[in-house]
């Protein structure tokens, strides 16, 4: 072990003592009483909370651009130009064109698995260049979402809450020399602003003016217990397999006191018109029923879902998803 390796821990320990000898009198004055020491502790707890929710140099993108051209690469290039120290990731760029509902769902599905301070850039923006607001939402969990306020923030505002909402001031937070372009705000405004925020070039307060804590919302059926049944919506399909995912959490479903093997009665509606009605067993996993048979199960997001084992429920019964699709689930009283 070198001398430097021995000295360094002691050096930083002495530096920390010197810092405390400086900061405690600054906050407490010369009167080091319990009251003032409490004030000092509260100060550092507040500082720690601010640090917890500070940006962490991570930017996560989603869009309806696809990967056939250079649009996604352009957005990431702008971010790298802001700071090559940023870490860039993707949710998806395969959201169907103009599908704001899917953008809302993918954000809500994903955000909880990322650390506080992560900046999300969501660009599904059929109204690009129009009067719709460009905003950054700070959630109560400490995440930041850069997006048009066009319904994309519907679900995340409900599940994670709005700590604060700010409109992007494009006179400051817009890629230099880009004002002649009116149709690629994902690159010129959202990625640029998101990168600056994530890199610490700007603070959240420097994004722009504060807005009232409400966003444009897409109507949908909340998951609710209604007598002996539960109503909810179909926010998404498990697209690779055609499974039907609802917004009914397992905790709410458990209020019906289901048992594995018990038959569940399922009704599915589109624009309030019934398009499916059927019974299926509530089981743990797909292989608990024969191939081609329907089943009800709890998916990886801990929400009630329906499937055909080794089949495609959505294609078979012509089911889609979105705010205009709803479900009603009850236990079959005959078994």
The answer to whether residues 300 and 276 belong to one domain is yes
The answer to whether residues 114 and 190 belong to one domain is yes
pLDDT tens track for 46-76:
544 444 455 789 999 999 999 999 999 999 9
- pLDDT number for residue 87: 98
- pLDDT at residue 261 above 60? yes
User: d(Cα 143, Cα 157) in Å, to the nearest integer?
Assistant: 11
The answer to whether residues 41 and 90 belong to one domain is no
User: Residue 310 CB: number of other CB atoms within 10 A?
Assistant: 13
Q: What residues have CB less than 8 Å from 82, skipping those under 6 apart?
A: 192, 195, 196, 199, 201
* DSSP 3-state of 285: coil
Considering 14, 35, 52, which residue would you say is the last residue of a domain? 52
Q: Would residue 219 count as lying in a domain?
A: no
- pLDDT at residue 145 above 70? yes
Considering 190, 211, 232, which residue would you say is the last residue of a domain? 211
Q: How far is the CA of 301 from the CAs of 65, 167, 242, 248, 297, in angstroms?
A: 26, 32, 16, 10, 11
Q: Would residue 172 count as lying in a domain?
A: yes
- pLDDT number for residue 56: 87
Q: Would residue 137 count as lying in a domain?
A: yes
The answer to whether residues 110 and 205 belong to one domain is yes
User: d(Cα 154, Cα 264) in Å, to the nearest integer?
Assistant: 30
The answer to whether residues 103 and 207 belong to one domain is yes
pLDDT tens track for 270-320:
999 999 999 999 999 999 999 999 999 999 999 999 999 999 999 999 999
- pLDDT number for residue 254: 97
Which residue, 303, 270, 307, is CA-closest to 289?
Answer: 307
pLDDT tens track for 12-35:
444 455 555 655 555 555 566 666
The answer to whether residues 151 and 174 belong to one domain is yes
* DSSP 3-state of 91: strand
- pLDDT at residue 11 above 50? no
Q: How many domains does the chain have?
A: 3
Q: Would residue 216 count as lying in a domain?
A: no
pLDDT tens track for 146-178:
999 999 999 999 999 999 999 999 999 999 989
- Strands 58-63 and 119-123 come out as parallel
**Mean pLDDT across the chain, nearest whole number?**
89
pTM here is: 0.78
The answer to whether residues 236 and 197 belong to one domain is no
Q: Would residue 127 count as lying in a domain?
A: yes
- pLDDT number for residue 45: 53
Q: Which domain holds residue 107?
A: 58-211
Considering 159, 178, 211, which residue would you say is the last residue of a domain? 211
User: Residue 25 CB: number of other CB atoms within 10 A?
Assistant: 13
CATH code where residue 274 lies: 2.40.30.90
The answer to whether residues 206 and 230 belong to one domain is no
CATH code where residue 133 lies: 3.40.50.10790
- pLDDT at residue 1 above 70? no
> What are the counts of helices (DSSP H) followed by strands (DSSP E) for the chain?
9, 16
Q: Would residue 218 count as lying in a domain?
A: no
pLDDT tens track for 77-88:
999 999 999 999
The answer to whether residues 135 and 70 belong to one domain is yes
Q: Would residue 217 count as lying in a domain?
A: no
The answer to whether residues 246 and 286 belong to one domain is yes
The answer to whether residues 295 and 169 belong to one domain is no
In percent, the amount of the chain with pLDDT more than 70 equals 83
- pLDDT number for residue 30: 59
Q: Which of 95-104, 241-250, 325-334 has the lowest mean pLDDT?
A: 325-334
Strand extents, DSSP E, 257-335: 263-270, 273-281, 294-298, 303-308, 322-331
The answer to whether residues 262 and 135 belong to one domain is no
Q: Would residue 15 count as lying in a domain?
A: yes
- pLDDT at residue 3 above 60? no
């Amino acid at each position: 072990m070198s001398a430097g390796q021995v000295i360094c821990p002691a050096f930083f320990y002495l530096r920390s003592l010197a810092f405390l000898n400086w900061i405690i009198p600054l906050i407490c004055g010369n009167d080091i009483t319990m009251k003032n020491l409490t004030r000092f502790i509260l100060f550092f707890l507040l500082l720690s909370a601010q640090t917890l929710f500070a940006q962490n140099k991570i930017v996560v993108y989603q869009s309806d651009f696809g990967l056939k051209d250079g649009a996604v690469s352009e957005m990431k290039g702008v971010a790298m130009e802001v700071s090559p120290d940023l870490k860039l990731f993707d949710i998806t760029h395969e959201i169907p064109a103009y599908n704001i509902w899917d953008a809302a769902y993918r954000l809500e599905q994903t955000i909880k698995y990322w650390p506080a301070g992560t900046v999300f850039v969501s660009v599904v923006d059929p109204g690009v260049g129009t009067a719709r607001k460009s905003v950054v939402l700070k959630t109560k969990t400490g995440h930041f979402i850069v997006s048009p306020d066009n319904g994309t923030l519907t679900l995340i505002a409900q599940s994670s809450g709005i700590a604060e909402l700010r409109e992007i001031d494009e006179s400051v937070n817009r890629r230099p020399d880009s004002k002649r372009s009116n149709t690629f705000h994902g690159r010129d405004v959202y990625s640029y602003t998101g990168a600056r925020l994530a890199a610490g070039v700007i603070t959240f307060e420097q994004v722009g003016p504060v807005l009232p804590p409400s966003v444009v919302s897409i109507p949908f059926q909340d998951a609710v217990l209604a007598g002996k049944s539960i109503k909810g919506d179909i926010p998404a399909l498990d697209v690779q397999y055609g499974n039907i995912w609802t917004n009914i959490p397992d905790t709410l479903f458990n209020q019906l006191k289901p048992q594995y093997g018990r038959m569940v009665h399922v009704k599915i509606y589109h624009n309030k018109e019934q398009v499916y009605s059927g019974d299926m067993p509530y089981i743990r996993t797909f292989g608990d029923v024969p191939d081609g048979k329907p089943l009800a199960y709890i998916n990886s997001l801990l929400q009630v879902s329906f499937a055909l084992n080794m089949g495609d429920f959505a294609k078979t019964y012509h089911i889609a998803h979105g705010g205009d699709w709803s479900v009603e689930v009850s236990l079959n009283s005959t078994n």
